[in-house]
Structure 1
Amino acid sequence: MILSPLSRQQTALRICRPLIRTQDLYNPKTQRRRIHKLPQLGHAGAFQRDGIPGMLSPEGYDMAWNQYQGHLVDRLNRLTAGTPLENSTTHDLILAHARQPNAASLFNHASMAWSNHQFFSTLSPDPPKMSPHLTSKINDSFSSPESLKQTFIATANAMFGPGFVWLVRHKYRNDYLMENEFSILTTYIAGSPLPGAHYRRQEQDHNTMMAAGSFGSASLFPGKESKIAYGGADIDILLGVNTWQHVWLMDHGVGGKKSFLEGWWKAIDWDVVESNWHSTTGKERNAENRRSYPLGRVGDVGRRRQTPAEGVY
């Protein structure tokens, strides 16, 4: 783990109206007003028709993406409707609420929607091979792609509980890692790998825990401290796998998590992974500018980006 432990508890949430029925996941026919929308995957047609070979059946894909991601988007619409936040992307919602103990529900749904989208966006029904350039970079950090595979799958399979496992690039050198080195990061429940969200210790971030001030000064004066928590790292996210049971249980059974992970590795679109790597290096100056923006104030998020009426993600 990259993050250092931060003890915290969750404040009580005030429920103003009944939430979505638990037996319903996502039904677009019930959506009357949708600012946030289900993002379109590049291979959605093939996934819907054939599933993801070796990984998910069409029914498993429909559950893990259409229904579950649709449910997350629906909840974001309900939580932000009529507020300045309804025009904010999931990325901005995560950063704005990572230090706000009383916004656990909004953070959780935005973080899960962002992470699940990252997971599915790196999959392909006909994945290309890893390029020599990317292979060389992986060799530098993991000795070989096979070593990366074994480490990645073993880490994800050993997680006792739901979460995500990520391949990340470290932007700057520290006492343990070289600049541009790749490493593996785990996040639990709806925890986010984004550097600006590292203040939230997600494995203790349940909506029903009662206490205030668990973030100390970070919750009292958001936006004024460093955007990276103590013990955190400034990273870019290249690849991730979702280990939540609803993703793999239908197709692989109770003991089939490793089988799912083996199938996932064969479905990775390495061109997308390499694109994530190269696109991040050219955006670091913009990222530095973004980190200096005071995202912590709730009202600032909706004003920061005005989006077209057709929806945001």
Structure 2
Amino acid sequence: MFRPRLRALAQAARPCTITASTFAPSTQAIRQLHTPPPSRHSPQVGVPGLLSPQGYELAWTKQMNATLGKLNDLVVGTDFENRELKKIIIDTARVPSLASVFNHASMAHNTDFFFKQLISVPSGGSAAATGPREIPLQLRQAIEDNFGSVETLRREFAAVAEGMFGPGFVWLVKANGLHQSGRGGDNLRLLTTYLAGSPYPGAHYRRQAVDMNTVGEEAADKSGASGSAKQWLDQQGHAITSSTPNPVNGVTPVSTDRRPPGGIDVIPLLCVSTWEHVWLRDYGLGPVESAQESVEPSAGGKAAFVEAWWDVIDWDAVSDLAKLNRPSLVT
């Protein structure tokens, strides 16, 4: 009587790839569980100039299978089964009890966004066919208007990524609703999201723009209370409703604006992942200094990874997302 259970345990111990059929129910109703989207990159070559095949396998294949597998476990039997990742992110951003669902959905979405903006090897081509892409003229002008030069943007990306003490993403976004700068009125800026934070306006309560390990005590000191992390989560739940009751019936309406107070509308254009599993396999920890000597390994750590990432950005894909509103040149 124990053999079926032993066989089941043996099968469970085998490595597997997360697919829709892995979690398919036995009933006739077929659930649309989440699977990794098609990738632009070949597992055999990885991302030439950035990630080896082994590095790509860890950063994309294993990471996405694990993240979406856990997400499927969390949402099985719920309405979230059939929702797109971005919709899940926005719908769960202000519900503390669904923090795990948000984190896994946002992590998978951010990872996919990161890889979609990287140059891929043409079908049937070789790794040598890739190389730095020219930035479309309108996008280049917008970058120069907002950052001074393309080189300045590159340096700012590198500095912000290197300065993040912890994993997350650094984003180039197009901001709406601000005092517009530049010849075309396109406001570009950088922002950070720690861990699985999201840059989308509807999820800005969970943008996670700072490291809560360092913000928590400061917030508690200012309020004179303890347990600041719990207070912060409570605030997110309370933010779902408006603070002004209806003067006629006294009912507090549900807010239709998903942005936090002071939040702005942004369109993500480009991001770089600073998660260690993305760069550690191919780039190591980088230079390590000790009291006796300075060790310079061949791999340059996160800083070298970000430098290499800049050279494999698909600027055409970035420009397509930007939809820049720039005047035509008068001839």
On whether the aligned pair clears a TM of 0.5, the verdict is: yes
8 Å Cα contact 1:26/1:70 also seen in 2: no
**Whole-Å separation in 2 of the counterparts to 1:73 and 1:168:** 26
**Whole-Å separation in 2 of the counterparts to 1:210 and 1:235:** 28
**Whole-Å separation in 1 of the counterparts to 2:315 and 2:199:** 20
CA deviation after TM superposition for structure 1 residue 231, in Å:
2.7
**Whole-Å separation in 2 of the counterparts to 1:139 and 1:26:** 47
Which residue of the other structure, out of 314, 317, 321, is the alignment partner of 1:269?
314
- SS in structure 1 opposite 2:191? strand
Aligned position for 2:305: 260
**Whole-Å separation in 2 of the counterparts to 1:247 and 1:192:** 18
Cα distance change of structure 1 residues 214 and 173 upon mapping to structure 2, 3 Å threshold: closer
CA deviation after TM superposition for structure 1 residue 204, in Å:
3.5
Percent identity (aligned): 40
Aligned position for 1:68: 63
Unpaired runs of 5+ in structure 1?
Answer: 1-22, 282-313
Unpaired runs of 5+ in structure 2?
Answer: 1-12, 25-31, 121-129, 217-228, 243-252, 287-300, 326-331
The number of residues matched between the two structures is 252
Which residue of the other structure, out of 209, 230, 234, is the alignment partner of 2:265?
234
8 Å Cα contact 1:162/1:245 also seen in 2: yes
Higher relative contact order (CA 8 A, sep 6+): 1
For residue 173 of structure 1, what is the amino acid of its counterpart? L
Counting only pairs closer than 5 Å after superposition, residues 96-175 of structure 1 correspond to structure 2 as 96-125=91-120, 126=130, 127-174=132-179
8 Å Cα contact 1:170/1:177 also seen in 2: no
CA deviation after TM superposition for structure 1 residue 96, in Å:
0.4
Which shows bigger deviation, 103-112 or 125-134? 125-134
CA deviation after TM superposition for structure 1 residue 254, in Å:
1.2
Cα distance change of structure 1 residues 275 and 60 upon mapping to structure 2, 3 Å threshold: same
How big is each residue's C-alpha offset from its partner over 1:102-143, in whole Å with a ceiling of 9 and x where there is no partner? 111000001111111110000014253112221111111111
For residue 258 of structure 2, what is the amino acid of its counterpart? K
**Whole-Å separation in 1 of the counterparts to 2:93 and 2:178:** 25
Q: State yes or no: 1:41 paired with 2:47.
A: no
- Whichever of the two has the greater Rg, that structure is 2
Aligned position for 2:225: none
- SS in structure 1 opposite 2:186? coil
**Whole-Å separation in 2 of the counterparts to 1:152 and 1:91:** 24
**Whole-Å separation in 1 of the counterparts to 2:319 and 2:53:** 27
Aligned position for 1:224: 255
Cα distance change of structure 1 residues 77 and 169 upon mapping to structure 2, 3 Å threshold: same
Counting only pairs closer than 5 Å after superposition, residues 273-312 of structure 1 correspond to structure 2 as 273-278=318-323
